[in-house]
Amino acid sequence: MAGTNGTTSNEHGNAKDVSYRDPAVYAEYEKKWTALPQDEAGWLRRAQEVADVLAVDAVVRDAENKSPRAEVALLKYAGLLKVLGPKKYGGGGEPWSVGYKLIRKVAEADGSIGMLLGYHLLWSTTADVVGSAEQADRFQKLIIENNYFIGGAVNPRDSDLSISSDGDKIVFNGFKHFNTGGVISDLTVLEGVYEGTDHHIFAFAATDQPGIQFSHNWNNIGLRLTESGSVKISNVAVPWTDALGWNVAEKKPDAAALQIPFASLLLPSIQLVFSNFYLGIALGAQDYASKYTLKGTRAWPYGGDNKDKATEEFYILERYGNFHAHLRAAVALADRAGEQANDIYKKYSGDLATRAKLTARERGEFAEWVASTKVVTTDTGLRVTAGVFEVTGAKATSQGVGLDRFWRDVRTHTLHDPVSYKNRELGRFQLLDEIPEPTWYT
C-alpha cells in the first residue's frame, strides 16, 4: 500500500526515503466519519478515535519516517482540520480551547501528527488575524469547503523571502531552512518583505506548483513525520488582492488591520499550540509507560525490602504519582490559557473596528498566560518523557518498544525557541509589571 517519489539527499549527503503510505489505508474512516461532531464532547471523542488509529503502528511509522500523506488524509476524513472553521462553510465553529484539546489528544498517540494538526489550525486562521474581513471570510470559505490542509514556510530566523510587484500580482523568492507540513499541504502560507520597504506580507499560495521546491531533508531525531525540512521559493506569484491586510490600491499595509495588537495574536496562539502538543506527548508517554510497567517491568530483587511486583515498588509508585501530579497541573494551566484565548478571540474577532478594541495590555496578559504554559509544559514534558525509563527498566529502551519516541519528540521541538527567554519574560512581568513586546516568538 505504499507509493513513492524516490529518495533525495540532505545537506550532509544522507539520502532520505521520501516514500509515503497510500492514503487508501485509512479509506474506511472516510466512510465512517460522514458528519462533523456537534459539541466539544463529540470532537474529543473523534480525536480519541483518531489517536486510537494512529497508536496502532506509531512506533513503526516513526521508524520508517515516511511522508505523512496518509496521516493527513486521516485528519481530513475525521474532520479535525475544520474544527475552528465557520459553520456556514461547513466548519465546526468551535473555539480555540477545543482546537488545543484536539491537538493534545492526537499528540498523545503521535506527536508528529498532533504537531501537524496544530500548525494547520494556526495557519488556517492567518487571514482572520492579519487579513481584512473580506479576506478572512474568503479564505475560510476556500479552506473549509475544500477541507484543505495548510502548511507554512515562515521561519523568522532565516532571511525573509523577498517580494516584488508584477502588475496585479506579488512575487515571492527566497529560501527557508524550515517549513512545517508543506510537502503534504494544499496551501502554503508565505511571508516576506516587500521590495524597497521593511513591510511584511502574508499570503496563501497553492503548494503544488514548480516554484515551491521542497528539499525533503527533514531527518531529525524527533517529530519525524512533520516534513519540517527546507524549501526554495522561486517566482511564486499570488494576486495583490491576496496580500493579507494590505491596501491594494496604494500598495501599502493597512494600518487599521496590521498596526494593532490584534494583528500580533498569531504568535501567542502558536506558542500555545506548541505547549499543547508537548503536553499531549508527555501524557502519551505516561500512559504508554504505565501499560508497559503493568505488563513487563520486574521488581528489583536486591533492595532489602523486596516486592513481588513492580507495582508494589515504592519508588515506582512514587515516580508515577509525581508524574501524574505535574501533568494534571499542566493540563489545568493549559486549559486555563485556552480559555484566555477564547475570551480574546470571541470578544475582538470580526471587522477591523472590533479588532482595534484589543489593547496592548490585554494582548500582553494573554501572552503571559501562554508563556507560563510554555514553561511548565516544556519542563514537565522533558521530565516525564525522560523519567519514564526509570520506572520501566532497561528492556524498555528497546527500539521495538518505542518508548524513546516521546522524549525525542519533546526534545526536538522544545529547542524551537529557548524557554529561558520565556522565564525572563515572565520575571519582568512579575517584578516590573512589564508586558512583552510582540515579536516573532512572543
pLDDT number for residue 16 = 53
Angle at 291 between CA 287 and CA 295, to 5 degrees: 170
Per-residue pLDDT tens digits for 22-75? 999 999 999 999 999 999 999 999 999 999 999 999 999 999 999 999 999 999
337 class by beta-carbon count within 10 Å (0-12 exposed, 13-18 middle, 19+ buried): buried
Is domain 152-254 in CATH 2.40.110.10, yes or no?
yes
Q: Strand, helix or coil at 233?
A: strand
Q: Which CATH number fits domain 2-149: 1.10.3720.10, 3.40.50.720, 1.10.540.10, 3.30.530.20?
A: 1.10.540.10
Per-residue pLDDT tens digits for 182-226? 999 999 999 999 999 999 999 999 999 999 999 999 999 999 999
| CA atoms within 13 A of residue 247's CA, in its CB half-sphere | 11
**Amino acid letter, 53:** V
Closest CA to 92 of 32, 144, 165: 144
> Is the distance from CB of 238 to CB of 173 less than 8 angstroms?
no
197: DSSP letter = S
Residue given cell 503571559 in the structure block: 368
Closest CA to 187 of 140, 219, 130, 225: 140
pLDDT number for residue 14 = 43
pLDDT number for residue 2 = 40
The beta strands (E) that lie in 76-210 are given as 150-153, 161-166, 169-176, 187-194, 200-206
145's CB contacts (< 8 A; 6+ apart) are: 89, 90
Q: Which CATH number fits domain 261-432: 1.10.10.10, 1.20.1250.20, 1.20.140.10, 3.40.640.10?
A: 1.20.140.10
Treating both helix axes as pointing N-terminal to C-terminal, what angle do 96-109 and 111-124 enclose, rounded to 10 degrees? 160
Task: Indicate the domain borders of the chain.
Answer: 2-149, 152-254, 261-432
Which residue positions in the chain have pLDDT lower than 70? 1-17
DSSP letter string, 246-303:
EETTTTEE-HHHHSSGGGGTHHHHHHHHHHHHHHHHHHHHHHHHHHHHHHHPPPPTTS
408 class by beta-carbon count within 10 Å (0-12 exposed, 13-18 middle, 19+ buried): middle
Per-residue CA distances from 345 to 95, 245, 254 (Å): 8, 18, 21
Rounded Cα distance between 48 and 26, Å, is 16
Angle at 107 between CA 224 and CA 265, to 5 degrees: 95
8: DSSP letter = E
Rounded Cα distance between 107 and 409, Å, is 10
For residue 319, count other CB atoms closer than 10 A to its CB. 18
Rounded Cα distance between 64 and 175, Å, is 27
> Is the distance from CB of 242 to CB of 135 less than 8 angstroms?
yes
Rounded Cα distance between 83 and 98, Å, is 8
pLDDT number for residue 1 = 36
160: DSSP letter = P
Here the cell at position 399 is: 527500539
Common-topology check for domains 2-149 and 261-432: no
